[in-house]
């Protein structure tokens, strides 16, 4: 689910660290450093990067199109291809059969463990070249004025990749804004703050 339309599943972060004085130039350089690179014609299994929030095929960001006042609005694109285990076993077996047929003609080379691993990798790479990657895009909104950020996902796998990519691009950390921490921000009464600090999960 995205943040820009329809219902949304989201995760909220506090951005840990300050932007430099040349914030606009810094953001432009770092966003372009982390642009999405297509793996359609490769055997790579995973690619992540920034795309336009309005068009996941657009990585040009003409006229700093990601910038809306204090907000940075991006798409975080994840392309991934996987080889099903059953399919890999089938094609590994076919590679082994071809190898054995050829080895009989050349004096009978053995199909040892190392050779099996080599043939398995050949089968895997051959399949990766033929399987198109799946594409997922997650909306990202970063309020640079308040150092708050939202991403349209709650999947731990997606969040791990996002946090790593964000950190490598901007050299800034991300602190998840858990309900407990948000409650601490909202409460103003000292007694309520003490009760929150003393709260423990129920054990049924």
| pLDDT tens by residue, the chain, 204 residues | 455 555 668 899 999 999 999 999 999 999 999 999 999 989 899 999 999 999 999 999 998 999 999 999 999 999 999 988 999 899 888 888 888 888 776 666 678 888 889 889 888 888 888 899 999 999 999 999 999 999 999 999 999 999 999 999 999 999 998 665 555 566 666 766 666 566 666 665
Residue 122 belongs to domain spanning = 85-128
Residues 57 and 145 occupy one common structural domain: yes
Question: Based on the structure, what is the number of domains in the chain?
Answer: 2
Q: Which of 24, 16, 28, 105 is nearest to 61 (CA)?
A: 28
Residues 67 and 156 occupy one common structural domain: yes
Q: Strand (E) positions, the chain? A: 11-16, 46-51, 67-68, 71-80, 134-143, 148-151, 173-176
Q: Does residue 203 fall inside a structural domain?
A: no
Residues 91 and 117 occupy one common structural domain: yes
Residues 26 and 71 occupy one common structural domain: yes
Which structure tokens are listed for 91?
A: 């094609």
Around Cβ 44, how many Cβ atoms within 10 Å? 15
Residues 70 and 19 occupy one common structural domain: yes
């Amino acid at each position: 689910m995205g943040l820009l339309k329809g219902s949304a599943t989201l995760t909220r972060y506090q951005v840990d660290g300050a932007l430099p004085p040349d914030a606009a130039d810094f953001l432009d350089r770092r966003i372009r450093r982390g642009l999405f690179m297509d793996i359609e014609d490769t055997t790579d299994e995973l690619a992540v990067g920034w795309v336009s929030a309005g068009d996941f095929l657009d990585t040009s960001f003409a006229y700093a199109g990601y910038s809306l006042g204090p907000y940075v609005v991006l798409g975080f694109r994840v392309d991934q291809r996987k080889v099903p285990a059953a399919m890999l076993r089938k094609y590994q077996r076919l590679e082994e059969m071809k190898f054995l047929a050829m080895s009989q003609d050349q004096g009978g080379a053995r199909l040892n463990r190392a050779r099996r691993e080599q043939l398995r990798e050949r089968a895997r790479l051959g399949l990766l070249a033929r399987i198109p990657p799946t594409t997922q895009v997650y909306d990202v909104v970063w309020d640079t004025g308040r150092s708050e950020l939202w991403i349209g996902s709650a999947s731990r796998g997606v969040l791990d990749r996002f946090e790593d990519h964000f950190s490598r691009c901007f050299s800034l950390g991300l602190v998840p804004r858990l309900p407990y921490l948000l409650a601490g921000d909202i409460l103003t009464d000292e007694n309520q703050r003490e009760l929150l600090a003393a709260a423990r999960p129920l054990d049924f």
